[in-house]
Amino acid sequence: MLEKVLRSTNDSLGEQIYRSLRAALISGDIEPGEKISTRTVAAEFRTSAMPVREALKRLEAQGALEVEAKRAYRVPVLSPQSAAELFQVRSVLEAAGAAAAAQSITEAELAQLDQLCDATDIAWRDGDIGTFLHTNASFHHIINNRSGNSFLAEMLETINMRSGPWLGLAIRKIVGQVEWGDKHRRIIGALRNRDSNEASRLMEEDSNWGMQLFQSVNVSKEDLLASTR
């Protein structure tokens, strides 16, 4: 379930577990309604329950998890309309981030984005949804962090933690293989040309894909999850 991001730094174990769970949420490894067991995570990291609870409480405070009975945690289950609203907020914030990034992104970062596009295309062609979601998350992460605005980058981390599970659900279980509208190469072109307006417009369209998808889903949140299991 988790991609462990244990690092040789001075971060506390709780911080490292938090980062790993955050990455799994952003990349859609964990889907809406999925339960997170303190005991299971502790076993994966070979640690006690205390640092795991510390990480889970942080994610709860950010709205990425919710508490169930007996202090269990799960990814919140939203209505399709609420999921659409989440992607609407994401699109506005990411558009602002892309506009700022166009003025300061480096050639090395543009080369990274090109490589991620290649990897994303291959993953989509091969039906490797896990790799597709991870490379997609990395693409957005580079641009969001290049905005130069730490408050915006922090807000995007939080909104992407909350929307990531829904993107994973959409890609794995709702859309067909031909339905993914990829604007990433055009976004790179706008960034390379230092065209803030075009980068912003294309990024907003890219993130709006999720909003439009969930606006078209005309079922309850319970029926949505039941139909995708």
Instruction: Please name the amino acid found at residue 197.
Output: N
Say if 8 falls within a structural domain: no
- Residues 131 and 167 reside in one and the same domain: yes
Alpha carbon distance 10, 228 (integer Å): 41
For residue 23, the domain's CATH number is 1.10.10.10
Q: Which DSSP category does 74 fall into?
A: E
Q: What is the pLDDT of residue 178?
A: 47
133 and 165 assigned to the same domain: yes
Q: What's the number of domains the chain is made of?
A: 2
Both 62 and 104 in one domain: the answer is: no
Q: Evaluate if residue 188 carries a pLDDT over 50.
A: yes
* Greatest C-alpha distance within the chain: 54
End position of a domain, from candidates 34, 56, 74: 74
* SS3 state of residue 67: strand
- The answer to whether residues 22 and 154 touch, using CB atoms and an 8 Å cutoff, is no
84 in any annotated domain? yes
Q: Domain boundary residue among 27, 42, 74? A: 74
Burial of residue 106 (number of CB atoms within 10 Å: 0-12, 13-18, 19+): exposed
Looking up residue 111, the CATH number of its domain turns out to be 1.20.120.530
In the predicted model, what is the mean pLDDT of the chain?
Answer: 88
Instruction: Give pLDDT tens digits for 122-154.
Output: 998 898 999 999 999 999 999 999 999 999 999
User: What confidence tier does 174 reach under pLDDT thresholds 50, 70, 90?
Assistant: confident
Domain-located, residue 40? yes
- Evaluate whether residue 121 is within a structural domain: yes
Same domain, yes or no: 142 and 167: yes
Confidence band, pLDDT 50/70/90 cuts, at residue 222:
low
Range of the domain at 25: 13-74
Report which of 176, 210, 228, 217 is spatially closest to residue 79, judged by C-alpha positions.
217
Global confidence as pTM? 0.86
Mean pLDDT of 71-80: 90
109 with 20, same domain: the answer is: no
Answer yes or no: do 119 and 205 share one domain: yes
Give 195-213 pLDDT, tens digit per residue: 999 999 999 999 899 999 9
* DSSP annotation of 9: S
Which structure tokens are listed for 223?
């029926």
Residues 106 and 39 placed together within one structural domain of the fold = no
Residue 166: which of 59, 64, 67, 72 has the closest Cα? 64
Residues 90 and 104 in one domain: yes
**Residues 103 and 198 grouped into a single domain:** yes
Q: Give the C-alpha separation, 143 to 210, whole Å.
A: 19
86 to each of 4, 43, 82, 127, how far by Cα in Å?
26, 32, 6, 26
129 and 189 part of one domain: yes
**Sorting pLDDT into bands at 50, 70 and 90, what band is 102?**
very high
Average pLDDT over residues 16-34: 94
Q: Is residue 4 part of a domain?
A: no
DSSP string, 129-174: HHHHHHHHHHHHHHHHHTTS-HHHHHHHHHHHHHHHHHHHHHHHHT
Same domain? 34 vs 89: no
- Same domain as 123, residue 46: no
Backbone angles phi, psi at 36, to 5 degrees: -115, 115
Q: How confident is the model at residue 225 (pLDDT cuts 50, 70, 90)?
A: low
- Of 74, 97, 115, the position where a domain reaches its end is 74
